[in-house]
Amino acid sequence: MKKILKTTLMGIGISSSIMLMFIVIYDIHMGFQDVFGVYLFGAICGFLPFVYDIERIPLPVKLLIHFGGSIFGFFIISSINHWVPFKSEALIGALVIFTLIFLIIWVIFFIIVMQQSKKINTKLKSTQK
């Protein structure tokens, strides 16, 4: 439960940081509903990584669940807040940008977890000698 809360709060922080970059780049003006939407979307993206703790699910399926849930959350919240126009070019552009951002963040976290695993394995090997 503590881990889920931590990842949910991290998701809110990451989504807020990314939104701040978009605000600066595109001179976006936000109201309360938009801010709430960013927080809700971040919470969804931060909550979904719980799936990586389920050992019986293969990694590609976990990634698909995390990505699919995140993209679903994004398009629901963005349609409520009118962030992306319902035009094919805008929807495809939003999907491409979302996918790139998602993959960059996912790879960064994957590298961090792999480094942590190596450190733990090294310590375990040194204590067994």
Q: How far is CA 100 from the centre of its chain?
A: 11
Structure tokens given for 32? 């309360």
Q: Using one digit for the tens of pLDDT, what is the confidence trace for 16-72?
A: 999 999 899 988 889 999 999 999 999 999 999 999 999 999 999 999 999 999 999
Categorize the per-residue pLDDT at 126 as very low, low, confident or very high, splitting at 50, 70 and 90. confident
Model pTM?
0.83
Neighbours of 83 (CB within 10 A): 20
pLDDT at residue 129, rounded to an integer: 64
Tell me the residue range of the domain where 116 lies: 2-128
Return the pLDDT at 66.
95
Encoded tokens for 97 = 């940008």
In 3-126, which ranges are E strands?
Answer: none
* pLDDT at site 31: 94
How many structural domains compose the chain? 1
First to last CA, the chain: 35
